């Protein structure tokens, strides 16, 4: 029984050692890099569902298999998570003992001066004719201010100093690795408590309030978000100014809007804001972004009995270059209460909208994204829109099955410009009143964003410190010369030795400067042509 | 803001000129490399350079030799002349190249790295400048790790990818000077893209040094292999150290570039990190370079293996520059492409 326990314990210990070894960290880093690669090469659901659908069409055999192993959601897949979790366990397992070691080193004194400084990779020596041991040592102490130093009394009247510097290197390295852990925790927090919603708001003074998920066109909730606790605020989009270059490229976007949050909500005050790309509105802990735009044509239908309905609905841009848009604006005839009759008199205006009409033969297309010659090519449909069928319906089109069943019929097809009117067989008129722009707004919430930023900054500083600071040692020994001098002043041999503890080159230059300062510039120090021949890497691996 | 056509034409002309000068520099470097004789006494010196790292004293005569003091000779040999000209041409090329970017920036009144063409061009300039810095630092340093001729041997191998990249940028990726699209109108383009350019350029140099390291260490393991080629390169230790130092200095900058990109993405795209293909690839490159630094501190991974990792890192960077920008569609978009 004890044997078993012992074996089990040994196994656990070896596993832990293996997991926290540098070699394992290396392998896991590679695995992580490889695991992330498909995320860059294969379309990802979280980024672009359309691309994923296209992939399924192009590779009908391969795609389902890839789907099964999570290739379309690499970054939320189990295997990706298992790699980074292992890496972070390894990291923490490696950090804790390193912290302890570093603490001990930091508390301990620099090591004693080696007997033979001549054997060190950096070495210099000079005999002074008129300087005592004490003078030499105090000069050295002055020069080495800022170094951690201890002094030793040695045999035969010699004294020496051992000095060490660069403890910050290891400290920076530890800060860096811990900040990685902190960053990961922040990311996880964002996944749990963040949310993101998209909504289209027409720029005619329409309003949007972040009061519930139902106000959004689409909403992505963090794992611990149920949609009941959204930060309360409202925005109103008044106007949308887009400037284009002659090439059709957008030069600038300016969304004129107003918003209210916190106490403004109670006293119904609005603050103005100009929303631009790269300049989100930040309010109530949320951010509001402009992520898209398009046109919303306005139509008025006048029935023969004089009743009127006006509707302004967003249409969907088909190409960002020309802003040719498609959509469907749907109407119920007012005053019709009978269900059967209602299903025969519903109307939809569908088709294309071109901000700058240009014709492919007779087919309307758009030559420029700005409103130079707004024209709509519309089909007026009458009958049953199928809105009561219980099936969800795109706001950008009509239910084609109603058309196929003949329950929704086309009653007119015409190109109309602003102000033009179409008269239908029964005397109903459809007028194209004008067009507004709409803005697609994204609302994002991530309470951990700031902490992620702080850790990212720590990562950079930790890294910089750990890569720039060099851990190095220097020893100075002053000893009375074996043959006393002729002058009354003492004759002293001063030796300097140096050792870099990390394999950063460059210590040689610093050593040479210090040696020059202590011994005078004429001294011949014996560095190798190869810098830092004997670096001591005392790191654990 | 309208584009100043005259300046933009000057910029194009300077670009073409700099490519021609770089090609000349490359040929001169290679000329020196090919003609450079395997100096007498190389074997002894090389033994001292490659040999045991325990020997702590080197005689003065030897270090003289290493430092490259050619014993007084009446005339500089042709190879050395070519090498000197190559370096001058590189400096000249870099100046003209800089002029090209400067006039492009002035013509459009913005930073000259708003599309792939300009970005590629700027990376090449960064690589050339990184190379010149290393070269001059080494030449100034009395504790130099290779002879000037050996050092310049690197030059041609650095100019080769630079010239190829510049040629591709100037033809396939060329874009007319134009203002920035709104998504790029942010001061973060100055910070983030500049950091990315400097890192990419320096890493291009580091990767080249690692490739040469791999070649040189083949020769050192078996001096019969590639003896002409190998003996003209700096020692593997010097190459390894150059690659490592360049990577170590630039890795925090690359980290900063990624973080700055995340900060920009937070303002532009609504999230600081979203695994966009470009972000993903930058992350992969970062991880590979972190692996390189770890490998250098892991027994059994130093030397050849870590050099391979550095080369892999460069491959990911290049893949990110070309494949991800051109083939994979992401949010990172450059005007005019
Ligand atoms: C999340 C994954 C990790 C990343 C991104 C990472 C990154 C880095 C980087 C960039 C360095 C370079 C700093 C330097 O050279 O001083 C470094 C150094 C180091 N890392 Fe990591 N690391 C990770 C995980 C680990 C793990 C799991 C261990 C322990 C097994 C570890 C141990 C070390 C050690 C000992 C050094 C110092 C090496 C040296 O002085 O060159 N790291 N790390």
Mean pLDDT of A445-449: 94
Q: Are A299 and A286 in a shared domain? A: no
Is residue B328 within 8 angstroms of chain A, CB to CB?
Answer: yes
Between A523 and A95, the more confident residue is A95
* pLDDT score of B333: 56
Domain boundary among A82, A105, A128: A105
CA distance A244 to chain B (A): 10
Same domain, A314 and A326: yes
Which residue has its alpha carbon closest to ligand 1 atom 4?
B290
In a domain, residue A177? The reply is no
In-domain check, residue B332: no
Residue B335 resides in a domain? no
**Least Cα separation, residue B23 to chain A (angstroms):** 33
Claim to verify: residue A160 and residue A237 sit in the same structural domain:
no
| A312 and A431 inside one domain | yes
Average pLDDT over residues A513-537: 58
**Rounded-to-5 percentages of helix, strand, coil across chain A:** 35, 35, 35
Q: What is the reported pLDDT for A526?
A: 52
pLDDT at residue B78, as a whole number: 85
Q: Which two tokens stand for residue B167?
A: 């040629």
A127: CATH: 3.30.530.20
Distances (CA, A) of A252 to A233, B103, B180, B190: 26, 24, 10, 19
Ligand 1, atom 24: closest residue by C-alpha: A91
Task: Answer yes or no: is B52 within a domain.
Answer: yes
Distance from CA of B30 to the nearest CA of A (A): 26
Ligand 1 close to Cβ of residue B50 (< 6 A): no
Give the model's pLDDT for residue A42: 87
**Which of B129, B131, B107 lies closest to B118, judged by CA?**
B107
Question: Do A381 and A446 have their domain in common?
Answer: no
What is the predicted pLDDT for the residue at B47? 40
Are β-strands A195-202 and A148-153 bridged in parallel, bridged antiparallel, or unpaired?
unpaired
Helical pair B236-268 and B194-221, crossing angle rounded to 10 deg: 160
Q: Are A114 and A497 contacting, i.e. CB atoms less than 8 angstroms apart?
A: yes
Residue A342 in this model has a pLDDT that exceeds 60: yes
Residues 285-304 of B with CB under 8 A from A: 287-288, 290-291, 294-301
Q: How confident is the model at residue A531 (pLDDT cuts 50, 70, 90)?
A: very low
Residue B67 lies in a domain: yes
Instruction: Decide: B290 in ligand 1 pocket, CB within 6 A.
Output: yes
Residue A408 lies in a domain: yes
Residues A299 and A428 in one domain: yes
**Pair A267, A139 in one domain:** no
Contacts of A463 in chain B (CB under 8 A): 251-252, 255
pLDDT tens sequence across A216-232: 988 988 888 888 888 89
Query: Looking at chain A from residue 420 to 459, which residues have their Cβ under 8 Å from any Cβ of chain B?
Result: 442, 444, 446, 449, 452-453, 456-457, 459
Per-chain mean pLDDT for chain A = 87
Q: A322 and A220 share a domain?
A: no
Question: Is A362 buried (19+), middle (13-18) or exposed (0-12) by CB count in 10 A?
Answer: exposed
CA distances from B9 to B102, B103, B108 (A): 12, 9, 12
**Which of B246, B254, B293, B298 gets mutated to test ligand 1 (max ligand atoms within 8 A of its CB)?**
B293
Q: Mind telling me how many Å the CA of A10 is from chain B's nearest CA?
A: 24
Residues A412 and A379 in one domain: yes
Q: Is the CB of A180 under 6 A from ligand 1?
A: yes
Q: Which of A32, A460, A534 sits opposite B56 (nearest CB)?
A: A534
Numbers of helices and strands, H then E, in chain B: 13, 0
Provide the pLDDT for residue B40: 39
The domain of A260 spans 190-293+442-457
Which ligand 1 atom lies nearest to the CA of residue B289? 10
pLDDT: which is higher, A3 or A32: A32
Q: Is residue A342 part of a domain?
A: yes
Triad A383, A386, A392: Cα angle to 5°: 150
**What is the count of structural domains for chain B?**
1
Whether residue A464 lies inside any domain: the answer is no
CA of A177 from ligand 1 middle (Å) equals 7
Q: Please report whether residue B305 resides in a domain.
A: yes
Q: What is the pLDDT of residues A386-440, one digit of tens each?
A: 887 777 788 888 888 888 998 899 999 999 999 999 999 888 999 999 999 999 9
Tens-level pLDDT at each residue, chain B (337 residues): 578 888 999 999 999 999 999 999 999 999 988 887 654 334 444 444 443 333 333 333 333 344 444 444 456 788 888 988 999 999 999 999 999 999 999 998 899 998 889 999 999 999 999 999 999 988 887 666 678 888 888 999 999 999 999 999 888 888 888 888 888 888 999 999 999 999 999 999 999 999 999 999 988 888 887 777 888 888 888 899 899 999 999 999 999 999 999 999 999 888 999 888 889 999 999 999 999 999 988 877 888 999 999 999 999 999 988 877 776 666 665 533 4
Which residues 285-304 on chain A approach chain B with CB closer than 8 angstroms? 287, 289, 291
pLDDT of residue B335: 39
| In the predicted structure, residue A501 carries a pLDDT above the cut 60 | yes
User: How many A from CA of B294 to the centre of ligand 1?
Assistant: 6
A123-127, A145-149, A194-198, B75-79: segment of lowest average pLDDT: B75-79
SS3 assignment, position A126: strand
Average pLDDT over residues A356-371: 90
Model confidence at A504, in pLDDT bands (50, 70, 90)? low
Nearest CA to ligand 1 atom 30: A22
- Residue A293 banded pLDDT, cuts 50, 70, 90: very high
3-state secondary structure of A492: strand
pLDDT over threshold 60, residue A238: yes
Does some domain include residue A86?
yes
Q: In what order do the strands lie in the sheet with A346-354?
A: A316-317, A325-331, A346-354, A375-383, A408-417
Supply the ipTM of this predicted assembly: 0.85
pTM of the entire predicted model: 0.86
- With tokens 């033009």, the residue in question is A420
Q: Are A133 and A490 in contact, with CB atoms under 8 Å apart?
A: yes
DSSP symbol at A110: P
Domain that holds residue B256: 5-326
- What pLDDT is stored for residue A20 in this prediction? 72
Residue A89 structure tokens: 């366990």
Same domain, A77 and A124: no
For residue B301, the model assigns a pLDDT of: 82
**Which atom of ligand 1 is nearest the CA belonging to A541?**
35
The pLDDT value recorded for residue A382 is 92
What is the total residue count of chain A? 541
Q: What average pLDDT score do residues A287-302 get?
A: 94
* Residue A284 and residue A305 in one domain: no
Contacts of B283 in chain A (CB under 8 A): 36
A509 band by pLDDT with thresholds 50, 70 and 90: confident
Nearest CB neighbour to B57, from listed A36, A249, A526: A526
pLDDT of residue B49: 43
Output the six-digit token pair for A463: 């890294």
Give the count of domains, chain A.
Answer: 4
| Amino acid A485: pLDDT | 57
DSSP letter string, B105-153: HHHHTS-S-SSHHHHHHHHHHHHHHHHHHHHHHHHH-TT-SS-HHHHHH
Q: What is the pLDDT of residues A43-58, one digit of tens each?
A: 888 887 888 888 899 8
Helix extents (H) in A21-132: 22-41, 49-58, 62-68, 78-107
In the predicted structure, residue A162 carries a pLDDT above the cut 90:
yes
Distance A21 CA to ligand 1 centre (A): 11
Residue A459 and residue B299: Cβ atoms within 8 Å? no
Q: Classify A482 as helix, strand or coil.
A: coil
B19 in a domain, yes or no?
A: yes
Q: Report the C-alpha gap between B227 and B188 in whole angstroms.
A: 49
Verify that A82 and A130 share a domain, yes or no.
no
Q: Is the pLDDT of residue A266 over 60?
A: yes
Structure tokens belonging to residue A129: 């004719």
């Amino acid at each position: 029984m004890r044997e078993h326990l012992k074996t089990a314990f040994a196994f656990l210990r070896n596993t832990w050692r293996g997991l926290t070894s540098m070699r394992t960290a290396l392998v896991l880093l590679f695995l992580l890099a490889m695991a992330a690669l498909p995320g860059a090469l294969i379309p990802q659901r979280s980024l672009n569902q359309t691309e994923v659908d296209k992939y399924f069409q192009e590779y009908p055999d391969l795609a389902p298999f890839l789907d099964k192993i999570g290739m379309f959601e690499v970054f939320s897949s189990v295997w990706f998570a298992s790699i980074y979790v292992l890496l972070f366990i390894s990291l923490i397992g490696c950090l804790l003992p390193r912290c302890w070691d570093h603490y001990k080193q930091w508390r301990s004194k620099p090591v004693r001066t080696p007997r033979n400084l001549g054997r060190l990779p950096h070495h210099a020596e000079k005999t002074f004719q008129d300087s005592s041991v004490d003078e030499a040592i105090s000069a050295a102490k002055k020069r080495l201010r800022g170094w951690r130093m201890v002094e030793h009394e040695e045999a035969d009247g010699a004294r020496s100093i051992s000095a060490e510097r660069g403890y910050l290197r290891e400290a920076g390295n530890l800060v860096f690795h811990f900040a990685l852990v902190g960053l990961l925790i922040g990311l996880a927090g964002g996944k749990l408590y963040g949310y993101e919603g998209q909504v289209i708001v027409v720029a005619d003074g329409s309003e949007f309030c972040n009061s519930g998920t139902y106000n959004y066109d689409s909403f992505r909730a963090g794992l611990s978000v149920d949609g009941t606790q959204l930060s309360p605020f409202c925005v109103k989009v008044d106007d949308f100014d887009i400037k284009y270059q002659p090439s059709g490229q957008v030069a600038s976007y300016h969304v004129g809007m107003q918003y209210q949050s916190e106490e403004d909500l109670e006293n119904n005050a609005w603050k103005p804001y100009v929303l631009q790309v790269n300049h989100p509105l930040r309010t109530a802990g949320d951010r509001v972004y402009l992520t898209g735009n398009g046109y919303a044509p306005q139509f008025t239908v006048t029935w023969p009995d004089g009743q009127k309905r006006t509707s302004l609905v967003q249409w969907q841009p088909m190409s960002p270059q020309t802003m040719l848009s498609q959509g469907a604006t749907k109407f119920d005839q007012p005053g019709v209460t009978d269900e059967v009759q209602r299903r025969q008199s519903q109307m939809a205006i569908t088709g294309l909208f071109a901000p700058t009409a240009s014709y492919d033969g007779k087919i309307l297309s758009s030559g420029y994204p700005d409103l130079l010659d707004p024209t709509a090519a519309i089909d007026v449909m009458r009958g049953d829109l199928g809105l009561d069928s219980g099936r969800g319906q795109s706001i950008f089109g009509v239910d084609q099955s109603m058309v196929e069943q003949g329950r929704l019929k086309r009653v007119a097809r015409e190109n109309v410009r602003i102000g033009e009117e179409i008269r239908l067989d029964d005397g109903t008129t459809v007028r194209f009143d004008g067009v507004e722009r709409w803005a697609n707004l994204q609302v994002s919430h991530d309470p951990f964003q700031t902490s992620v930023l702080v850790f990212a900054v720590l990562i950079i500083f930790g890294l910089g410190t750990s890569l720039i600071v060099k851990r190095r040692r220097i020893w100075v020994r002053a000893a009375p010369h074996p043959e006393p001098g002729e002058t009354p002043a003492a004759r002293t041999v001063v030796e300097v030795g140096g050792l870099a503890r990390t394999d950063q080159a460059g210590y040689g230059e610093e050593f040479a400067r210090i040696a020059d300062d202590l011994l005078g510039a004429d001294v011949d120090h014996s560095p190798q042509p190869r810098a830092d021949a004997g670096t001591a890497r005392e790191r654990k691996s | 803001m309208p584009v100043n056509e005259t300046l933009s034409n000057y910029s194009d002309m300077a670009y073409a000129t700099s490519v021609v000068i770089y090609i000349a520099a490359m040929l001169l470097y290679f000329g020196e490399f090919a003609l450079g004789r395997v100096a007498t006494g190389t074997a002894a010196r090389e033994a001292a350079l490659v040999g045991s790292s325990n020997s702590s004293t080197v005689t003065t005569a030897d270090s003289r030799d290493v430092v490259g003091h050619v014993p007084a000779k009446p005339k500089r040999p042709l190879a050395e002349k070519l090498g000197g000209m190559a370096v001058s041409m590189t400096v000249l090329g870099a100046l003209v190249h800089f002029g090209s970017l400067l006039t492009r920036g002035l013509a459009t009144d913005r930073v000259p790295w708003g599309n792939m063409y300009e970005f590629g061009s700027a990376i090449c300039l960064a690589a050339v400048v990184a190379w010149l810095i290393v070269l001059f630092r080494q030449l100034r340093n009395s504790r130099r790790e290779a002879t000037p001729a050996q050092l310049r041997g690197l030059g041609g191998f650095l100019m080769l990818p630079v010239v190829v990249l510049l040629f591709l940028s100037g033809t396939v990726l060329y874009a007319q000077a134009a203002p920035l699209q709104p998504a790029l109108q942010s001061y973060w383009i100055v910070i983030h893209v500049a950091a990315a350019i400097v890192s990419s350029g320096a890493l291009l140099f580091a990767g080249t040094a690692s490739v040469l390291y791999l070649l040189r260490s083949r020769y050192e393991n078996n001096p019969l292999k590639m003896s002409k080629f190998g003996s003209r390169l700096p020692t593997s230790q010097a190459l390894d150290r150059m690659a490592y130092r360049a990577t170590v200095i630039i890795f925090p900058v690359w980290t900063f570039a990624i973080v700055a990109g995340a900060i920009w993405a937070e303002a532009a795209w609504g999230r600081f990190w979203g695994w966009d293909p470009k972000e993903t690839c930058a992350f992969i490159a970062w991880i590979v370079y972190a692996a390189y630094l770890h490998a250098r501190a892991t027994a059994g991974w130093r030397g050849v293996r870590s050099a391979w990792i550095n080369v892999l890192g460069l491959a990911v960077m290049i893949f990110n520059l070309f494949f991800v920008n051109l083939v994979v569609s992401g949010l990172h978009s450059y005007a005019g492409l």
